[in-house]
Structure 1
Amino acid sequence: MAPAILKSQPGTRPSECAPAGWLRSKMPWIGTVPCGEKTKCRMTVSVRAVAVDHVLPPPLDMKTAMQRAGPSVQERFWDEVLKRRDIIDDGHGVEMAESLTQHAWSPGPGHQSLTRLWDGIRAEAARLATSEAVLSPSIHASILSHASLSSCLAHLLAAKLASSTLLAPQLAHLISQIYESHPEALEAASADLQATVERDPACEGEVQALLYGKGWQAVQAHRAAHVLWLAGRRSLALALQSRASVAWSVDVHPAAA
């Protein structure tokens, strides 16, 4: 229960009050007022502390309000946020509608380029397809049949997001276009994949993270939906959000950066 706010209640009779000295020692902010000027009374009447039932909550900044709103926030809330474009993050202005390029990720020590990462993935996939005959068709369809990481990832995400009315070939073409027009999204996917392999003790390699990493896949689907949202294709972005929620049980609004 929140602490009560104390306020003064005038008109208290002297017989109802505790000794003024005791009150002042316990509550130094409690003052005394004259009992009566006309009668020249020397007694003082202490102001009685009265508890108020509620405490006004402290004001929330926009960043805290967004964090508390979570995934259930309504679309019109995000519309207002994007219109304002003055969100404060750690004392520095951050615009929600800025592109990923303006928040560019920089490679860390030991980071592999896209070409080197893709070559390593293909080599690992070839070894796995040879050693596990049951997995060979899946490995060939998911990795070895593609010429680049962007093509591989586009078809992988499309297969996960597709439904009876949202067709995989169309989704694969859409995501490939996103990676072509926003290469920073593919760089971010590469960084996420390498970070998963480096930091997850249960992950044994890039192929495992690429094919079976639910969290990693969900993040890449959100990146694609976010690009669509910023491009004004909000219905399609929300459709990807809905399919991602079904595929990975991860629900992130496409406006979230």
Structure 2
Amino acid sequence: MCKVFPSSLGEFGLRWFNRLLAESIYNWKQLSEEFLARFVSNAKISKEPDTLFGLRKEQEETLRNYVRKYQKEYNDLKENVCNEQMVVMFFKHGLRPESKLRQSLTKRPATVLKDLRARIEQYARLKDDQILIEVASAEQTTLENRRKADRGEPRGVVVNEADKSKSHEAVVTVFKEPIYRIMEKIKREPFFTWPPKMLGDPVWRNQKLRCTYHQDRRHMTQNCRALKQHLEDLVVVGHLQEYIDPDKVVIEQGNLPLEPNTEHPL
């Protein structure tokens, strides 16, 4: 039995076995006791469901980090002690009251983990886009201030390039909310189509900017010409009427200028 035993061990168990002192084991009972003393004491203790209920998303914690923390605790639970509906409910309970994801789960509850994962990814991508927009806007402001300083001009309030470009907007329709939010709401509709893969060498793209429509890096979703044009085409054939702002009109003026922080056009 002692001779066959090593063949059943994994990497760590075999390493322990090979380090046993020569002639220190005389029978199977002694070997089994040594093994249990080494490994059973280090076995992971399964947790109860109240561990999940006690988790909370911190004020400055990202959604993705909270998900990783929650997933780790969920994996440590005893088997069959918590159904999927309870897991979803505890996850929502741990979100902050002002969380848009929590509000969404309250209005349209997810009952299984598959639906919860899809909802989490949707809101995590929106948050990623918002962060990229804020970073890009800050970088643009810093760059504009440096240019003004080089020209000897005073550093006043810098107008965001994305806002300045609105006077030259080539898309006539004015929507009630940003186009990346509209995309998240309609991307599963049968009339919505995804774009082809971006052309050009990815090495030369701005890696700080990500477009969720192209699912690639080069520009921000809010400045994606292809997405703007696709939404405009959908409006022409009668879709997206609930997202149009009827009180605003944009007059088409010439060609659409390059988006800020975009090194290459689409």
Higher strand share: 1
TM-score grouping bracket, smaller chain normalisation: under 0.3
TM-score (norm. length: structure 1): 0.22
